[in-house]
Amino acid sequence: LTAADQWSKSWAFDTLPGKGGAMDILPPVLSFTLSRNPGIILGIGWQIPTLFLVTSFGILAVLTVILWRKALPWSWRLSLAAIASGALGNGLDRYQFKYVRDFIDVHVNTPWGPVVYPTFNVADSCICVGAAVLAIGLWRAPPKPENAHAG
């Protein structure tokens, strides 16, 4: 997944027209628009990019240890691996460019007005989908048996 993320970002930034250039994919819902994000979602924290670089690789390290040492259901392992690959993809961008390359732009017209989702990338999708699948798996997990210790 990290390779797909890095390839797609390279393709977008090599192919799309200059700064802010856009390509309609499924108008009016989906387009590719170049964006450079030194922060996190919506550019929050752009003043402290080093913190996000360290955080990306810290998350990757923790998830690697969990995946290596814990016996987990396959769906949880897959979810954690997706989250780890997303952290690695965005971490590589932060290390190499000092920002994350985003290009997927989704916008939907609703009866209440247009809804524009923040521009994102494949790594962001891996993190979000992995987290959602993990949350569902944790929610549906059978409860642990009560501790039978007599106090």
Would you name the residues annotated as active-site residues? 102, 124
DSSP string covering 33-102: EEEEESSSGGGTTTT-HHHHHHHHHHHHHHHHHHHHH----HHHHHHHHHHHHHHHHHHHHHHHHSSEEE
